[in-house]
Amino acid sequence: MVVYLIAPLLGKGHHVYCDNWYTSLRLFLYLLEKQTLACGTIRVGRGIPEQLQLVQLDKGASSVVTEKL
């Protein structure tokens, strides 16, 4: 769904923001291949990177994972 909606914007340097319904590692890797950056909240059990699964956060806290391009 996300790819269909933003297809005209791919490869033009845009940055996509998603809520946890649409955020997935698979989507973000695809967007990265298309020179489109992305960020978003994640749901437990949705292919969360291992380094985030080990993080115990307090209510209202956040964690960030980045990758050098």
Q: What is the pLDDT of residues 5-45, one digit of tens each?
A: 999 999 999 999 998 888 888 898 899 999 999 988 877 77
Question: 28, 45, 17: which is closest to 53 by C-alpha?
Answer: 45
pLDDT at residue 1 is higher than 90: no
Spatial separation of the C-alpha atoms in residues 47 and 68, rounded to whole Å = 20
Does residue 8 sit within a domain?
Answer: yes
Does residue 62 sit within a domain?
Answer: no
Question: 49, 53, 55: which is closest to 67 by C-alpha?
Answer: 49
Does residue 20 sit within a domain?
Answer: yes
Does residue 58 sit within a domain?
Answer: no
